[in-house]
Amino acid sequence: MADAERVTARQRAILTAVVESYIDTGEPVGSGTVAEAMARRTGEDAGLGAGLGAGLSAATIRNEMAALAETGLLEQPHTSAGRVPTARAFRMYVEDLSGGVHPRIDAARLSVQSRQQIDSSFVGLAGTQALLQRTSHVLATLSSGVGVAIAAATEGDMLEHVHFSRLASRRVLAVVVTRSGLVRDRVLALDQDLTLRELETAASFLNENFRGWSVERVRAELARLVEQERSAYQLLVNSVQQLWMKTVPEREIAAQTVYVEGVANLVGSQSGGSYEDRERLREVLAALEAKQRLVELLNAYIDARQESVRVVFDLEEHAPEMAGLVLIAAPARMAGESRGTVGVIGPKRMHYENTMNAVSYIANVFDRMLHPME
């Protein structure tokens, strides 16, 4: 990018110090603060070349910060002596974290404490659905942002088992388990009453004839059987079709389950703002509640085939109410196939290294967490 070509290695080191100080405090950053930070974090561990941060005077840093401001990477709010990073600065910072001379984004770099916290959070859970639901909670806790987990579309998912339980007259509990581990349960209101024996027969029919079929293919085959049969067998097929259509409605075949947790974190990060800030936050919360927008948002930016965690700053291009927020997300896989997307939505002032590594770690170990249940 053009910014990268115009910024020296020393300026990158200074910019990193400014961004990280601003993330920590939320206050404009002065040259003295940068000098102290660079003195503490010189060398390869900070992602800086040898000597880049050592021995720089506050005056030298101040001149370099002025140059960074001219390139549009820093700005000076009001009459403050300090500077704050622009959106372009955050992008460059994340690029350096991911692919700089000394990359810091690697699931293995996540602290032992965080890894243990993640692993212990999933103990005892079974199935993709339960894991994704817990994932949203874990990411919200680790990031202090909004944890998001979205199950992959059920289209193409294979039926493993179905069970029907009679609750009352014309009321049935249906439980469908898919090969991916997704468990869907629903209370059905039937047009006609079915006995316990009829429900057991219908479940046996589905399990014996359609195990391993995609859920949408089951619907198509049942419709074909209803049209074809003109015998006593028709009664059974009719019952099975009614149960299946109510258990897996057509409009939900390609639907995606969305888990969101940590909205209170987002509220906290915006406390004390202006009326305009509170109104924008209200729009954001409304968007988070309209979960289909989240599905569209993640699908627009996260490719199930990608291998690494992605950071997206321009959310407002797809969802205007998300202006000022950042998405960090990655696909979660099992046996090489995408089972959904996990991520965090938060303000620009988030701890990118920790959050990116946490998202990457959860996405990478999803296969290991699910494997024993297959």
Q: Which domains are delineated in the chain?
A: 2-99 (1.10.10.10), 107-152+256-373 (3.30.450.40), 159-252 (3.30.390.60)
Share of the chain above pLDDT 70, in %: 77
Nearest to 270 by CA among 125, 145, 84, 368: 145
C-alpha 120/C-alpha 169 separation (Å) is 43
CA–CA separation, 29 and 206 (whole Å):
65
Q: pLDDT for 101-141, tens place per residue?
A: 667 888 888 889 999 999 898 888 776 777 888 898 899 88
Dist. CA 292–CA 98, nearest whole Å? 30
Q: Is the pLDDT of residue 195 over 80?
A: yes
Q: Check residue 74 and give its pLDDT.
A: 93
3-state helix, strand, coil in the chain (%, to 5): 55, 20, 30
Higher pLDDT, 372 or 7: 7
Which residue has better confidence, 190 or 321?
190
Residue-wise pLDDT for 257-299, tens only, equals: 788 888 777 766 655 555 555 666 677 777 776 676 777 788 7
pLDDT at 18 over 90: yes
pTM here is 0.69
Residue 213: pLDDT band (50, 70, 90) is confident
Higher per-residue confidence, 363 vs 55:
363
**Rounded to an integer, what distance in angstroms lies between the CA atom of residue 291 and that of residue 268?**
21
Judge contact between 326 and 115, C-beta under 8 A. Answer: no
> Burial letters for 253-287: b for 16+ Cβ neighbours within 10 Å, e otherwise?
beebbbbbbbbebbeebeeeeeeeeeebbeebeeb
Looking at per-residue confidence, does 347 or 244 come out higher?
347
Q: Quick one: pLDDT band at residue 37, thresholds 50, 70, 90?
A: confident
